[in-house]
Amino acid sequence: MSPIFPEWPDDPDEPSDGQRRLVVQADPRGGSTSWMASGACHGIDPELFFPISATGRAVPQIDSAKAICGRCPVRQNCLSYALLTMPDGIWGGTTREERIAMRLRLVPSRAPAE
Ligand code: SF4
């Protein structure tokens, strides 16, 4: 497991600095997650990266999260991880919906079998 965001309050491993940290399970499909500790989102309220929708009033929140991703030194690692594991929320400067669209563009379409 690699901590990257504030964790749940009753976690026995809660850090002494009082900050909550969300623990993200390493996913074998996503490879190493050691880059997570270097993310620009480290120490920022994780709720910013998990908007309740992709439209409407959530758009300013999404834009704020993406602005942080935009200056993140591990953005490409994060995006690659998210394209493989498809978590909810903003990862690598993209929403889940954007990653779904990216994956569809990455997979060549096949002609139906005749
Ligand atoms: S790209 Fe965004 S979500 Fe990913 S580690 Fe960087 S700041 Fe965090």
pLDDT of residue 19 exceeding 60, the answer is no
pLDDT tens per residue across span 28-63 = 666 788 999 999 999 999 999 999 998 999 999 999
33 neighbors 24 (Cβ within 8 angstroms): yes
Give the confidence band of 24 by pLDDT, cuts at 50, 70, 90: low
pLDDT in tens, 66-104: 999 999 999 999 999 999 999 999 999 999 999 999 999
Would you state the pLDDT for residue 73? 97
Q: Which residues line ligand 1 (CB under 6 A)?
A: 39-41, 49, 68-69, 72, 74-75, 78, 90-93
Q: Report the separation in Å between the CA atom of 69 and the middle of ligand 1, taken as the mean of its atom positions.
A: 5
Residue of minimum CA distance from atom 3 in ligand 1:
91
Q: What pLDDT is attached to residue 8? A: 37
For the CA atoms of 9, 53, 100, 36, the dihedral, rounded to the nearest 10 degrees, stands at -30
Nearest CA to ligand 1 atom 2: 69
Unique residue bearing structure tokens 């989102």:
41
How many angstroms separate the alpha carbon of residue 40 from the centre of ligand 1? Answer: 6
* pLDDT reported for residue 13: 46
In the structure encoding, which two tokens stand for residue 50, read together?
A: 């998990």
Q: Which of 50, 91, 96 to mutate to test the pocket of ligand 1 (most atoms within 8 A of CB)?
A: 91
H helix or E strand, kind and range, residue 97: helix 96-106
**Ligand 1 atom 5, closest CA:** 39
Query: How much is the pLDDT for 66?
Result: 98
The CB-side HSE value for 24 (13 A sphere, CA atoms) comes to: 26
What is the pLDDT, as a whole number, of residue 106?
79
